[in-house]
Amino acid sequence: MTGTARPTQSQARRAPAALPGDRGPDQALTGADRPSATWPRRLSRLAGWLINKTAVHAQRLTTEVFAAAGSRRYHYALLASLEEFGPSSQASLGRRCGFDRSDVAVMVNELAQAGYLERTQDPADRRRNIIALTPAGQARLAELDQLVDASQDELLAPLSARERDELVRLLTLVLDHQAALHGLHGDGSRPWKH
């Protein structure tokens, strides 16, 4: 055995397979060493193709991060919404996060059972529940924020802070445009409208 340290189980699981010419995780591949160099040029120039391919990695990273923390992406979305906008009905919460109303009930149940949310009856409409963040939910959101930041750093490693901000700005512009035309899920629905 050499004097080099063995990778932890987490590092070994997350380490990508070595590619020809790989110079390590801190150096971007260039030229023919890039996986994208194997695609037809027509595809390599399509923003939609690149967004889809990148989304696969974004989803993988966030799924891994949340699973390791015993959480899910939708938990983070609901907690973040309640922290930013305050107590809300389940219907409003679902619209704000782009989730189906029936799914939100299950999501809220999971978070309430963990002590991160509380339900109270809406005094203006006794048929509705108001969902609020608990102190434990605030603490959980802070933990998840750190994990999300780390996964974003990993996903966007080759970009500078300015490039990351510009990427987010441009993606938001495209998403808002398409959602205004075709709905958030491409089905014509506009759940953000009340």
Tell me the pLDDT tens digit for each residue of 88-132: 999 899 988 888 888 999 999 999 999 999 999 888 888 888 999
Query: Where are any strands of DSSP class E within the chain?
Result: 88-89, 117-122, 125-133
Q: Within 13 Å and on the Cβ side, how many CA atoms surround 106?
A: 7
Per-residue pLDDT at 172: 94
Domain with residues 45-154, CATH architecture: Orthogonal Bundle (1.10)
Q: Which band of pLDDT confidence, cut at 50, 70 and 90, is reported for residue 186?
A: low
Which two structure tokens, joined as six digits, stand for 116? 């991160």
User: Residue 182: pLDDT band by 50, 70, 90 thresholds?
Assistant: confident
- Only one residue has tokens 């189906």, namely 100
Segment 28-52 mean pLDDT: 82
Share in percent of the chain as helix, strand, coil (round to 5)? 60, 10, 30
Domain range annotation of the chain: 45-154
Please give the backbone phi and psi of residue 120, each rounded to the nearest 5 degrees, phi first: -135, 155
pLDDT given for residue 93 in this prediction? 92
